[in-house]
Structure 1
Amino acid sequence: MSSSALLEQISTFMNEQIPFQKHLGIVVTKFDAQQSEVRFRWQDQLVGNAPMQILHGGVTATALDTAGGVVIMASVIERLKQDLPADEIVKRIARCGTIDLRVDYVRPGRGKEFITTATIIRSGNKVAVARMEMHNEDGMLIAFGTGTYIVG
């Protein structure tokens, strides 16, 4: 299986098989070994502050973590594709998980659509680190974060 086929498989899995992400409407729109993007649209049930109509902080954190996780998985595929067969890479990716997530909330979560991007800071054999940002459709920065993930 090629690395592009693995990336497509991950994208499909993340978009269709993770119930919580489906519930929130989070969709992986693009990713590779250097950058990822996930998006979701405003929904009334995502409100965390009803009087102010502000996005729940947990939704923001989930979107940041999702973007960080998929770019980390793509990075693992890129790093291992020459050394391991596809089934071994899939097993390695299945063990990936968040070790630490730091979120800085910069502005209230308001908008019609939210776009979260992530880039790789470091991708090692055991641990990988990503930097994430979430903007609304007008490009306003809502939050940013750093995620540390177990990859080995």
Structure 2
Amino acid sequence: MLKPQAAQAAPLAFEPEFIAGLKEIFEQRVAFNRVLGLNVTEVLPERVAARIDMRPELVGHFAYNRLHGGVISAGLDAMGGLAAMAAIGAKHMQDAPLARLQRFARLGTIDLRVDYLRPAIGSHFVLHGQVLRLGSRVANTRMEFLGPEGELLATGAAAYIVS
């Protein structure tokens, strides 16, 4: 005899004002993210995504029109931080959106590792980030940097202070 399945809980979703506030912090208030042209495309409790369009200011090797490695590293770091913010926001859903956004004042990178796998050549790039573990003081993340056709160009892992 089949056992009845337990009711599935609805997936956690952020309020539009929380997502808008997070995007404003990341795209406007973090000046270096503006330099990168980082555009947040997805904010979910379990993962985040963004896009960087290629521009002449971001070229690292002029002969190949290849993206500078510093852009890749900074983009991966930003995605890890955004993933940590999303996870913290999800952990404190009982708080109002503005109160959750104020929790990010002390977030900072304490360790970052980047593996460059392929040259970053293309019209745009897609970045993904997710939290592997959110502790009371440290968040551990994993990130991906993809080319326009979805090819994996670089990966990252980072730790962020969250307390």
Same fold (TM over 0.5): yes
Residue 93, structure 1, aligned to residue 104, structure 2? yes
Gaps of 5+ in 2: 1-12
Q: Percent identity?
A: 34
Letter of the structure 2 residue corresponding to residue 104 of structure 1:
D
Alignment partners' CA distance in 2, 1:3 and 1:36: 12
Alignment partners' CA distance in 2, 1:135 and 1:25: 16
Residue 49, structure 1, aligned to residue 92, structure 2? no
Per mean C-alpha deviation after superposition, the further-off stretch among 121-130 and 3-12 is 3-12
Deviation readout 1:61-91 (Å, 9 max, x if unpaired): 1111111111110100111233x56555333
Q: Which residue of 1 aligns with 2:40?
A: 28
Q: Contact 1:38/1:66 (CA < 8 Å) preserved in 2?
A: no
What is the deviation of 1:3? 4.8
Work out which of the two has the higher radius of gyration on C-alpha atoms and give 1 or 2: 2
What is the deviation of 1:7? 2.8
Gaps of 5+ in 1: none
Q: Contact 1:100/1:148 (CA < 8 Å) preserved in 2?
A: yes
Residue 126, structure 1, aligned to residue 133, structure 2? no
Paired residues in the alignment total 150
Alignment partners' CA distance in 2, 1:142 and 1:19: 25
What is the deviation of 1:48? 1.1
Q: Which residue of 2 aligns with 1:108?
A: 119
What is the deviation of 1:52? 2.4
Q: Contact 1:7/1:74 (CA < 8 Å) preserved in 2?
A: no
What is the deviation of 1:128? 0.4
Letter of the structure 1 residue corresponding to residue 86 of structure 2:
A
The TM-score normalised by the length of structure 2 is 0.85
Q: Contact 2:36/2:75 (CA < 8 Å) preserved in 1?
A: no
Deviation readout 1:104-151 (Å, 9 max, x if unpaired): 000011111100001110011110011000111111111000011111
Per mean C-alpha deviation after superposition, the further-off stretch among 30-39 and 14-23 is 14-23
Go from structure 1 to structure 2 and tell me whether the alpha carbon gap of 1:79 and 1:23 turns closer, same or farther (over 3 Å shift).
Answer: same
Alignment partners' CA distance in 1, 2:108 and 2:97: 19
The TM-score normalised by the length of structure 1 is 0.90
Alignment partners' CA distance in 2, 1:87 and 1:6: 7
Match of 1:150 among 128, 136, 161: 161
